Amino acid sequence: LYGLPHEMAEQGIVSYGFHGLSYSHVASELNNRYGAAAGGRTIVAHLGSGASLCAMKAGVSHATTMGFSTLDGLVMSTRCGAIDPGILLHLLQDRKLSSDELAELLYQRSGLLGVSGISGNMQTLL
């Protein structure tokens, strides 16, 4: 749950996490390859243009870096990752960005691309 009024959680404002199929596949492969040894605690990284981490125990997800949307968590190719909500308020109120402009900034012009000013592609940056 987020630190918001409870009725918001009842309306679906909760942490969903993402890349679940990827993590399920990794858990299955770990079990196939290592059997009981794979049943412990594992941290799995899903790294691509989207990125997240998942803490698993006995093949079951217990925590992930992504929350309500695919913007949360790690810095990604063009997505910002976790960001102080006060920055969003500043961009909307003081910089007068529209919600569409803010979405475009956070989803398309941030992340590795925004930080580097060159590219969101890790191979290009290396």
The CA angle 34-39-41, to the nearest 5 degrees, is 115
Query: What's the whole-number mean pLDDT along residues 17-29?
Result: 91
Quick: pLDDT tens for 76-99. Answer: 999 999 999 999 999 999 999 999
Position 17 scores a pLDDT of: 87
* Strand, coil or helix: 60: strand
Round to whole Å and give the CA distance between 31 and 117: 41
Does the pLDDT at position 36 exceed 90? no
* Sign of the four-CA dihedral 7, 2, 86, 71: negative
Position 11 scores a pLDDT of: 96
Whole-number average pLDDT of the chain: 94
Does the pLDDT at position 37 exceed 80? no
> Residue 40 — pLDDT band, cuts 50, 70, 90?
confident
Q: What is the dihedral of CA 98, 103, 104, 107, to 10 degrees?
A: 160
Round to whole Å and give the CA distance between 25 and 14: 24
> Residue 116 — pLDDT band, cuts 50, 70, 90?
very high
CA 103 to chain centre: 15
